[in-house]
């Protein structure tokens, strides 16, 4: 990969680890409306249906190694959250995703990128624990996330407080 493209891929991957891929005009995150050429799927493969969760993260992490992103400055979809996933599903899928992607993230984004990725997974565990009203487990997951990346955890908590203020919970 050319140096400039490699730098863009590193930038994209670092932001994906923060749950969003920064584009020239916006953000792409798992769950966004994505359009990709068939060649992308032929190159990196399909979404892995063996993953019970995070199959979009897995695919995007494979994709940013080889392709650049661009964004349309339009809202193309409104996503309504369904029932929260079971904690056991999140735990199992997070372990599977980390085992698959840790080496890739470390190679492209270094130790700090890997820490942000692990913090993101811990915050997913916290979300599942909150949904299950298992607040001590949520607090422990948030603590684990803050040890990995206090910036990532602060952003998560700020967003959560903002949602509480607007009643979007």
Q: Where are the beta strands (DSSP E) in the chain?
A: 21-23, 26-28
d(CA 24, CA 124): 27
Token representation of residue 159: 């967003």
Domain total of the chain: 1
pLDDT digits (tens, 9 = 90+) for 118-131: 998 999 899 889 88
Question: What's the predicted TM-score (pTM) here?
Answer: 0.75
pLDDT digits (tens, 9 = 90+) for 105-118: 888 888 988 898 89
What residues have CB less than 8 Å from 78, skipping those under 6 apart? none
Q: Could you list the residue range(s) of the whole structural domain that residue 131 is in? A: 3-166
């Amino acid at each position: 990969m050319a140096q400039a493209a490699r730098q863009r891929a590193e930038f994209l991957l670092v932001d994906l680890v923060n749950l969003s891929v920064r584009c020239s005009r916006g953000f792409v995150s798992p769950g966004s409306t994505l359009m990709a050429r068939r060649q992308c799927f032929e190159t990196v493969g399909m979404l892995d249906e063996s993953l019970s969760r995070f199959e979009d993260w897995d695919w995007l992490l494979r994709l940013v190694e080889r392709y650049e992103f661009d964004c349309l400055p339009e809202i193309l979809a409104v996503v309504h959250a369904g029932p929260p996933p079971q904690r056991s599903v999140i735990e199992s899928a997070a372990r599977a995703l980390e085992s698959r992607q840790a080496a890739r993230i470390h190679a492209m984004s270094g130790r700090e990128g890997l820490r942000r990725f692990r913090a993101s997974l811990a915050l997913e565990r916290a979300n599942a624990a909150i949904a299950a009203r298992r607040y001590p487990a949520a607090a422990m997951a948030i603590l684990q996330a803050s040890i990995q990346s206090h910036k990532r955890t602060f952003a998560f908590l700020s967003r959560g407080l903002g949602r509480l203020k607007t009643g979007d919970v």
